Amino acid sequence: MTAVVKDKKAGGGMGNDSEFVRITYDFAADAGATGVLDLFEADGACVIKSFHAVVKTTFTSGGSATLTAGVQGGDVDVMLAAVAVASLTANSIHGEAVALNFPIYLADGAILQQNILVAAMTAGKIEYVIEVMKV
């Protein structure tokens, strides 16, 4: 699997404390082709307590690109559901795709992924902020 340049692992050594994990997708480092990139791997069973994403640099595309984020092999757009490139403007904040009943359980080794759909991105940077806690 391909991963963003600065993918993360979390969940293994946190004890009962929450941890905020920040993962950045950056077109300059990760390219913008359509497809899936791994963002985060659970290092031990954990729960996601909260999630949001902040666009650091406005996204552009030669087409009608969309961005999703979610759980590999499960709800692949539970975090972001097909956010259009036009909505991915600098300093915009995006929350979970649907009203979730937190926490969301992740088994050991579960992977959160980002997916670029429809068309490639030509610029953009987004930071995902995930609050996790070991179970």
pLDDT digit string, tens, across residues 38-74: 999 999 999 998 899 999 999 999 999 999 999 999 8
Q: Is 5 a residue whose pLDDT tops 70? A: no
Neighbouring C-beta atoms of residue 112, cutoff 10 Å: 28
Look at the alpha carbons of 94, 118, 99, 25 in this order and tell me if their dihedral is positive or negative. negative
Are 67 and 127 contacting, i.e. CB atoms less than 8 angstroms apart? Answer: no
Q: Which residue has the tokens 């069973």?
A: 45
Query: Taking CA 7 as the corner, what is the angle to CA 10 and CA 58, rounded to the nearest 5 degrees?
Result: 125
What CATH architecture applies to the domain 3-134? Sandwich (2.60)
pLDDT of residue 30: 95
CA distances (Å), origin 5, targets 23, 39, 60, 93, 107: 10, 9, 20, 22, 23
Neighbouring C-beta atoms of residue 17, cutoff 10 Å: 8
Q: Provide the pLDDT confidence category of residue 121 given band limits of 50, 70 and 90.
A: very high
pLDDT tens figures, 23-42: 999 999 999 999 999 999 99
pTM over 0.85: yes
